Amino acid sequence: MSLFIANAHAQTAGAPAGGSGIELLIMLAVFGLIFYFLLYRPQAKRVKEHKDLVASLSKGDEVITGGGLMGKITKVSDEKDFIEIALNDNNNVLVQKNAVTAVLPKGTMKSL
C-alpha cells in the first residue's frame, strides 16, 4: 500500500502565534486607504462634477444626453428637473436634467 499512498506523519508543534493583532489592524488600515483612494474618492469627484454640470444648464446650451441625443436646450424647468431639447427645427424632446452627460461648445451643432 505504501506504493501509492505516503505514510502520514504527525506535524511537529509550530511556534505559537504571539502577535497581539497589531499586524491585522495595520493591514486593515492599509486596505481602507487603498479603497478610499482608488474607489471612493474618484467616484465622489465624478458625482460632484456631474451635479455641477446639471446645475449650470441654461437655455441655449448644446448638450449630449446619455441616450446619445444631441441638441440645444430650449426650456429649463427648475422645479421639475426637466429640460426641453431641440434636436432640429421640427423635433423637441423632454428629458431629465440628470440625463445630460456633456455640454458642447457653442456652434458644434452647426458644424455637423
Taking 80 as the threshold, does the pLDDT of residue 8 lie above it?
no
Higher-confidence position of 94 and 6: 94
Residue 18 pLDDT level (bands cut at 50, 70, 90) = low
Three-state SS letters, the chain: CCCCCCCCCCCCCCCCCCCCCHHHHHHHHHHHHHHHHHHHHHHHHHHHHHHHHHHCCCCCCEEEECCCCEEEEEEEECCCCEEEEECCCCCEEEEEHHHEEEEECCCHHHHC
Q: In this model, does residue 14 exceed pLDDT 90?
A: no
Kindly state the average pLDDT of the residues 58-83.
92
Cell of 93: 424632446
pLDDT > 90? residue 72: yes
Name the grid cell of 80: 421639475
pTM summary value: 0.70
Residue with cell 460632484: 48
pLDDT band for 16, please (50, 70, 90 cuts): low
Ordered structural domains, the chain, with CATH: 57-111 (2.30.30)
The identity of residue 31, as a single letter, is F
Q: Mean pLDDT, to the nearest integer, of 63-87?
A: 93
Render pLDDT for 19-28 as a digit per residue (tens, 0 to 9).
Answer: 678 999 999 9
Over range 94-98, report the average pLDDT: 94
